[in-house]
Amino acid sequence: MNKNTSNKAQTQLPPFKGVGGILRPNILNLMPYSSARDEFTGSASVFLDANENPFETGYNRYPDPYQKELKKKIGEVKGVKPELIFLGNGSDEPIDLLFRAFCNPGADNVIAIEPSYGMYTVSADINDVEVKKVLLTNDFHLEADKVLETANEKTKLIFLCSPNNPSGNLLDTAEILKIVSNFKGLVVLDEAYIDFAPGATLLHNLGNYPNLIILQTFSKAWGLAGIRLGMAFANREIIAVLNKIKYPYNINALTQQRAMESLVKEDEKNKWVETIISERIKLVKEIRQFPFVTKIYPSDANFILVKMNDAKGIFNFLMEEGVIVRDRSKVTLCEGSLRLTVGSEDENKILIEKLEALL
């Protein structure tokens, strides 16, 4: 792309000036539901406001609708102020809420890189929002100019995933921030796998970029996929919008309790991460020996993308042997590739043994 084209794209899409200009009018004027606990602050001994069962079970009361204690602890761990945190039922909830808040069905569009996490497109389809796909390079690198060229006055959201799924690589920070700096809407950076790329998070950039939203999760490094807890970090204005339209008690008491228990064991999580990274290195070394493996893409995540001869046949063989991997052969730029999650040492040994049986 030449210099004139770049300047034109930036002129058409002035820098972000706040959510007011892109928020859906009905959401701007929405009177949110007020739960009983929204109307109460402080301490009390008698609760007769929410039509709860008064007999103590440990869970007969509604949970904190804004998860204040949990956000405080997350803020300490992440180095982020609690008021800049939104918690959702997995990362899929804030993804869906962003569509519902900022994208007019049948009129607006979003941009997603390709290949990437499929829920961006699914959520767009559910909300009747067009998705403009921007291909990464053959080695899965991000080109900011291509993304900015694709945006128009109806583009409200740009989705980036780093480390990217299914390719596993970190996107270039300079390219990400170029997009954030020159886009008038919101940029959603999904860092679900960021714990496996130590020091690479862009959380410290939140204060400099008011249109940046960062997603993280408890499902990967924290080992809590079963409790369905995702985190969104953004400026106060964006967090206020998400809180305005979420369901009143979207995070249940059991999830909040289990997350708090894990957050005080951060050292355990860090040891898991170190082990997984070590196992990833070993797995790459061992898989590289197989003659049917033609390429292993560099990974900063807890999985590797491997291009193979007869990937579909190998996928079916492994499945019959009780080893489940992900066939990504039908995904753009991932033809003939399997995505292999890095398991425990024993699980990885079983995978290697099964692949050796193909020799």
Query: Where on the phi/psi map is residue 106: left (φ > 0), alpha (ψ -120 to 50), or beta?
Result: left
Phi, psi of 236 (to 5 degrees): -55, -40
Q: What is the pLDDT of residue 21?
A: 86
Q: What is the pLDDT of residue 8?
A: 41
Q: What is the pLDDT of residue 294?
A: 98
Please report the domains of the chain, with CATH numbers, ordered by start residue: 3-263 (3.40.640.10), 267-356 (3.90.1150.10)
Residues 6+ apart with CB under 8 A from 208: none
Q: What is the pLDDT of residue 228?
A: 98
Alpha-carbon separation of residue 126 from 100, 129, 187, 263 (angstroms): 10, 8, 20, 34
Alpha-carbon separation of residue 175 from 4, 16, 66, 146, 206 (angstroms): 18, 17, 34, 11, 16
- For CA atoms 171, 174, 175, 177, the dihedral sign is positive
Q: What is the pLDDT of residue 14?
A: 53
**Which residue's entry shows tokens 């809590």?**
224
Q: What is the pLDDT of residue 15?
A: 66
Give helix 92-102 / helix 119-126 axis angle, nearest 10°: 40
Contact 21, 186 (CB under 8 A): no
Q: What is the pLDDT of residue 321?
A: 98
CA dist 287 and 336 (Å) reads 15
Q: What is the pLDDT of residue 34?
A: 86
Query: Where on the phi/psi map is residue 139: left (φ > 0), alpha (ψ -120 to 50), or beta?
Result: alpha
CA dist 150 and 160 (Å) reads 14
Please list the rounded mean pLDDT of every run of 10 residues in the chain (359 residues): 40 67 94 81 82 95 95 98 98 98 98 98 98 98 98 98 98 98 97 98 96 98 98 98 96 98 98 98 98 98 98 98 98 98 98 97
Contact 116, 301 (CB under 8 A): no
pTM: 0.94
CA dist 151 and 111 (Å) reads 7
CB burial readout 26-52, b (16+ within 10 A) else e: ebeeeeeeebebeeeeeeeeeeeeeee
Contact 214, 189 (CB under 8 A): yes
Q: What is the pLDDT of residue 18?
A: 87
